Chain A
């Protein structure tokens, strides 16, 4: 069956689910009594469990990072360009673990799961998660899989924040941290974009205070708007110009407000529409809050170098020149703190026109550097 898949694909994969009965205390002061995590693994864990790599996903990501769920799948997992035999995260060498975070909507316990206390979906009652909370839950997953120390924790964007948090929360459990297109905290502009997205969802009449599931509806319009705003910030001006320019759907202007006239309008509506049918509005709110709250240096008077003083992992930080949502300057803040703290770090600023989305795209220089770094990791 696997013959149908490309040679450098991990092929057919099946997600696994683990239940955790021990309560997880959360940053918000509440705790999750009982929860489940859905995850996939690629490659084989070696005898000493020294070859494990954790993949942390970004805002709308999930556990399905590589391979296919069925022979009919049109597309592989979201980071298939980087995970597989012979790819940067080489599954001949590494045992890769990729999960859906708590609060997600792809199989791990989240707002759309049933609240055992009420027998109804959590909805808005699901606790707000932080990057730290996720890292603690991921540590429990590692324990269950017999992984004492990760060879590497890898992530882009919000995923990069989790990789960084790992090195701070569990310094002895991470040998390498790859933080790609990430930031040590969000800027005011970034929080502002998230707030627009949240307001779009919160003010949708179908949101019902976050309990829309019980009403049998979804705040489709709000989610769609949230995604449209987000999507604009993931692309660069150049990338949009290149892809759509001022191209029109039909030959003439309609002089009205409801027609889809420009190609870019059509694209954004399609992206928003598609997203609104597969993503949970409460999860979206929760993910944007986790982004906003992330600021590990806040516990050290804002001094990131001090925050990273106890870190023992080696770092690889990469950014993309046209990424304005998580600009190279933000990555440099991480690098500067690491050099001030005298940590090992490689930093690459990849010339790429694709904006923030570049970290998902197989750009030759990016893949080459990623590959070189992963190759030097001893297992």
Chain B
């Protein structure tokens, strides 16, 4: 399994209901179903990925995240996962709010644009960073909303979300000493576990 998914699965309790936003080829859901008796759905828009999900018997639903999650009831999932998709959304703020509404817990991973390599690239070359990890040029990248750990945490704060866990890792998803000391500079990928500030009961009574 992909290294970041390996980390995430540890945060997902056995038997929980999971909604995987941008579920890719269904790797995480297939693994969780087999090893942790998890049930749920994956949302995806890429045709090839969807086909692979179907083959794996993953419950895949063709749905554009930018159009919201209003087809899912509030608090209807134990965990809502979104890996490496935040930066590719048109409305990351709205999707985050929707995740917090639908899921009791949300797990989000995204690349940190304040990582020292990005900073160095921008400072020394004066151009948008291009790397093996993020290989696109500015005009053809699907990643239209880069942010930093600081930015993301501010958005969480604005939306009243509580950050329960944060892991800053490098591109190989190693959780080394460097990214622990100064995550916003030395962490390449952020893995966050957050939840809405409002308890579920309060949502239901509104």
Question: Is there an interface contact between B47 and A339, defined as CB atoms closer than 8 Å?
Answer: no
Contact of A340 among B53, B54, B58, B73 (CB under 8 A): B73
A375 to B62, CA, bound (A): 20
Contact of B54 among A339, A342, A349, A376 (CB under 8 A): A376
A369 to B50, CA, bound (A): 8
Q: Count B-side interface residues using an 8 Å CB cutoff.
A: 20
Question: Is there an interface contact between A348 and B55, defined as CB atoms closer than 8 Å?
Answer: no
Question: Which A residues are CB-close (under 8 A) to B38?
Answer: none
Q: Any chain B CB within 8 A of the CB of A332?
A: yes
Residue interface mask B26-63, A partner, CB < 8 A = 1: 00000000000001010000010011011101111111
A346/B53 contact (C-beta < 8 A), A332-B71, A365-B47 known: yes
Question: Is there an interface contact between A339 and B41, defined as CB atoms closer than 8 Å?
Answer: yes
A364 nearest in chain B by CB position: B47
Question: Is there an interface contact between B60 and A336, defined as CB atoms closer than 8 Å?
Answer: no
Which secondary structure characterizes the binding site on chain A?
helix
Question: Is there an interface contact between A336 and B71, defined as CB atoms closer than 8 Å?
Answer: yes
Question: Is there an interface contact between B47 and A375, defined as CB atoms closer than 8 Å?
Answer: no
Question: Is there an interface contact between B59 and A368, defined as CB atoms closer than 8 Å?
Answer: no
Question: Is there an interface contact between A369 and B59, defined as CB atoms closer than 8 Å?
Answer: no
B41 nearest in chain A by CB position: A339
Nearest Cβ distance between residue B147 and chain A, in whole angstroms?
Answer: 30
Question: Is there an interface contact between A372 and B55, defined as CB atoms closer than 8 Å?
Answer: yes
A340 to B63, CA, bound (A): 16
Question: Which B residues are CB-close (under 8 A) to A347?
Answer: 60-63
Residue interface mask A295-338, B partner, CB < 8 A = 1: 00000000000000000000010000000000000001001100
B56 nearest in chain A by CB position: A376
Contact of A372 among B51, B61, B76 (CB under 8 A): B51
Q: Any chain A CB within 8 A of the CB of B91?
A: no
Q: Any chain B CB within 8 A of the CB of A344?
A: yes
Question: Is there an interface contact between B59 and A375, defined as CB atoms closer than 8 Å?
Answer: no
Question: Which A residues are CB-close (under 8 A) to B61?
Answer: 335, 339, 345-347
Residue interface mask B58-78, A partner, CB < 8 A = 1: 111111000000011100100
A230 to B112, CA, bound (A): 55
Nearest Cβ distance between residue A283 and chain B, in whole angstroms?
Answer: 35
Question: Is there an interface contact between B39 and A342, defined as CB atoms closer than 8 Å?
Answer: yes
Question: Is there an interface contact between B71 and A372, defined as CB atoms closer than 8 Å?
Answer: no
A348 nearest in chain B by CB position: B62
Question: Is there an interface contact between A349 and B39, defined as CB atoms closer than 8 Å?
Answer: no
Contact of A339 among B50, B53, B71 (CB under 8 A): B71
Question: Is there an interface contact between B39 and A369, defined as CB atoms closer than 8 Å?
Answer: no
Question: Which B residues are CB-close (under 8 A) to A332?
Answer: 71
Question: Is there an interface contact between A345 and B59, defined as CB atoms closer than 8 Å?
Answer: yes
Question: Is there an interface contact between A346 and B59, defined as CB atoms closer than 8 Å?
Answer: yes
Nearest Cβ distance between residue B78 and chain A, in whole angstroms?
Answer: 12
A335 to B61, CA, bound (A): 8
Question: Which A residues are CB-close (under 8 A) to B57?
Answer: 376
B54 nearest in chain A by CB position: A372
Q: Which of A346, A349, A369 has the most CB of B within 10 A?
A: A346
B39 nearest in chain A by CB position: A342
Question: Which B residues are CB-close (under 8 A) to A336?
Answer: 71
Question: Which A residues are CB-close (under 8 A) to B60?
Answer: 346-347
Q: Which of A344-379 contact B (CB under 8 A)?
A: 344-349, 365, 368-369, 372-373, 375-376
A344 to B59, CA, bound (A): 6
A368 to B54, CA, bound (A): 10
A348 to B76, CA, bound (A): 22
Question: Which B residues are CB-close (under 8 A) to A335?
Answer: 61, 71
Question: Which B residues are CB-close (under 8 A) to A346?
Answer: 53-54, 58-61
A236 to B39, CA, bound (A): 38
Question: Which A residues are CB-close (under 8 A) to B59?
Answer: 344-346
A346 to B50, CA, bound (A): 9
Nearest Cβ distance between residue B113 and chain A, in whole angstroms?
Answer: 32
Nearest Cβ distance between residue A32 and chain B, in whole angstroms?
Answer: 39
Question: Is there an interface contact between A339 and B55, defined as CB atoms closer than 8 Å?
Answer: no
Question: Which A residues are CB-close (under 8 A) to B54?
Answer: 316, 346, 348, 369, 372-373, 376
Q: Which of B17, B62, B63 has the most CB of A within 10 A?
A: B62
Question: Is there an interface contact between A348 and B50, defined as CB atoms closer than 8 Å?
Answer: yes
Question: Which B residues are CB-close (under 8 A) to A316?
Answer: 54
Question: Which B residues are CB-close (under 8 A) to A372?
Answer: 51, 54-55
A345 to B62, CA, bound (A): 11
Nearest Cβ distance between residue B6 and chain A, in whole angstroms?
Answer: 25
Nearest Cβ distance between residue B194 and chain A, in whole angstroms?
Answer: 23
B residues with a Cβ closer than 8 A to A are 17, 39, 41, 47, 50-51, 53-55, 57-63, 71-73, 76
The 10 closest A-B pairs by CB, nearest first: A372-B54, A347-B61, A336-B71, A372-B55, A349-B62, A376-B57, A348-B62, A346-B54, A373-B54, A346-B60
User: Mind listing 13 A-B residue pairs with CB under 8 Å?
Assistant: A316-B54, A339-B41, A339-B61, A339-B71, A342-B17, A342-B39, A345-B61, A346-B53, A346-B61, A347-B60, A365-B47, A372-B54, A376-B57
